[in-house]
Amino acid sequence: MFIIMLIPLFCIFADEFHGLDWPTRFKIIKGTCEGLKYLHEGLKPPIYHLDLKPGNILLDKNMVPKLADFGLSKLFTEEKTRVTQTPIGTV
C-alpha cells in the first residue's frame, strides 16, 4: 500500500538547491539509498524503481528525500531474476 504525503516537496533541480553544503548532500544521498534498500530488501515482494534519476528524488522542507514516479517500477518474486538484458528507464 502506498501513502501519498501531503507536504511541500521540492525537486533537486530547483535553483535554491544548487549551493548545497556537503553534509546536506550526504543526507540526501544517504536517505535515497535507505529508501532504495527498503524497497529492495524490506518489502516482500521487493519493488525495483527502474527509473531513478535526480528529477525523481523530491525533497521535503527538511531536505529529506522522497522517491517519486514509480511508473516503470516492477514487483519481483523470489523465482524471478534481478538481471535484465533489456534497457529500461530514462536514457
C-alpha cell at 64: 529529506
* Whole-number Å distance between alpha carbons of 61 and 52: 21
* Whole-number Å distance between alpha carbons of 16 and 52: 22
**Start-to-end CA span in the chain (Å):** 29
Reply yes or no on whether 51 is catalytic: yes
Q: Which of 15, 21, 51, 60 is catalytic?
A: 51
The secondary element (H helix, E strand) that includes residue 46 is: none
Active site residues: 51
